[in-house]
Amino acid sequence: MKLISFFVSVFFGCPIAASISPPYGNQTAPCIFTGSSGFDLLTKRNTSCRDLILSDLLVPGGVTLNLDKLKLGSTVTFNGPIPKPKFFQVHKLVDSVIEGITIVNAPVHVFSINGCKNLTLKGVTIDNKAGDATQKEWDEGKGGRNTDAFDVGGSEDIKIERARDDCVVVNSGTNIIFRNGLCSGGHGLSIGSVGGRSDNTVQNVLFENSVIADSENGARIKTKHSTTGLVSNVTYRNVMLQNITKYGIVVDQSYSCQTRPNGVSITGFTLVNVTGTVLPTGTNIFVNCGDGSCKQLEWKGVDVKGGKKSSTCLRIPSGSWC
């Protein structure tokens, strides 16, 4: 299975007449490859160009777009109809494997996983460090935004192993495993936000044997206010936190509206050996539950320190603390 061709054909799948400009040789302007036959021209002649632009390029199914013979220092620009698309759409795959992929400086969400069953991703590196910014730069509109590595929705039996990335968001789905990962510079390992979508059920999720470093959050569950849904049987096991900036552990049932915890039920939230550090400006643990809507929380071996103790936690359920 050659999934690079799957991605490019979906994202740039707009067959038009092929064109290429300018002539090859001593390049004075970018080489532009477009259309349904632009792929053939590109694969035959990409070593002749230093600056390449791929615009509305259609890659045949079952074929890989191979650019590993470009000249040293070459640049490749992808132009498409959407300014900041989901970078790698993985939709409706069954019994599939995505392995050994490195992606650098994605413009927005990277892997959009939807409608899949029995999918494994392993050995994936997503490096968006170029989008890191200080708080001042962030306030000025600089830095990368919403560069979630893996957004999972409406899928079953998903495994993500040996990943290095800006981390995971599970919005809906069942039987999701993230294992042996390194998350750096993102929002942590997150459930949700859940609520207000066509599918608002998250069940049987396991995050284990992973490190979350230099990120805004560590372990996080967030559900939207004034909606319904279910978050059930979520486990974080053997997870180390390093230099978390905002919340080490956060359960927030009123995401986007702090005064109205909602009707989304959280049942079965287990933490086992979740340890590490939060920066002094951050908060170790924050819990904001609705009235009776957080149940069966079981935390063991949880030791998160370095940050502040929250004074605004609400309705802390048995088995957890703040």
- Considering just the CA atoms, what is the radius of gyration of the chain in Å? 22
Residue 193 bridge partners (DSSP): none
Please report the DSSP string for 215-279 in residue order: -SEEEEEEEETT---EEEEEEEEEEEEEEESSEEEEEEEEET-TT---S-EEEEEEEEEEEEEE-
**Active-site residue among 109, 148, 151, 187?**
187
**CA pair distance 54, 75, nearest whole angstrom:** 11
Element (H, E) at 39: helix 38-45
- Cα 68 to Cα 24, 64, 140, 154, 180: the distances in Å are 19, 11, 37, 34, 28
- Please list, residue by residue across 183-219, b when 16 or more beta carbons sit within 10 angstroms of its beta carbon and e when fewer do: bbbbbbbbbbbbbbbeebebbbbbbbebbbbebbbbb
Burial of 150 (0-12, 13-18, 19+ CB in 10 A): buried
Say if residues 18 and 34 touch (Cβ distance below 8 Å): yes
End-to-end CA distance of the chain: 47
Say if residues 14 and 58 touch (Cβ distance below 8 Å): yes
Is 187 a catalytic site residue? yes
Region of 237 (left: φ > 0; alpha: ψ -120 to 50; beta: rest) is beta
**Active-site residue among 56, 148, 151, 165?**
165
Q: Catalytic residue positions?
A: 165, 187
